[in-house]
Amino acid sequence: MPAYTFFCEACNKKYEVVCSIKDYHDKLPCEFCESNVSVHRMYTEDAATLSSSVKKSDSELKTVGDLAKRNTDRMSNDEKQYLKTKHNEYKENKPDAPLPKGMSRMTRQKTKTKWV
């Protein structure tokens, strides 16, 4: 079922309504203050998420990128933040263990390599 984004000017809040197309009304009451007068549909929000609203089935996933996009679309923002922190913490936390004799740690370049 599609999700419709609304904005209430009375309480200044944005919310989503998930309903079937036949149950959709352009003037739905606000979920927070129940005002019916100052509620407007946010078409720009819905248009921005339109491309991600069409989900590919497992048989339609052709690349690893398609699979990764589908999986990140299913995650909450908290899960995405946790994974970002988990995968980038090695950059912030230098290993404390000493290296074997005769070895040294490599330092990362500050500039990006330009590929021609």
> What are the structural domain ranges in the chain?
1-54, 55-90
For the domain with range 1-54, which CATH number is right: 2.20.28, 2.30.29, 3.30.70, 2.70.98?
2.20.28
Query: Tokens 């720009």 — which residue?
Result: 44
What is the rounded distance in angstroms from the CA atom of residue 46 to the CA atom of residue 16?
10
Q: Hey, what are 61's tokens?
A: 């996933």
38-90 pLDDT, tens digit each: 888 888 777 766 555 566 677 777 888 888 888 888 888 899 999 888 888 87
pLDDT-derived band at 17 (thresholds 50, 70, 90) equals confident
**H or E element, residue 52:** helix 50-53
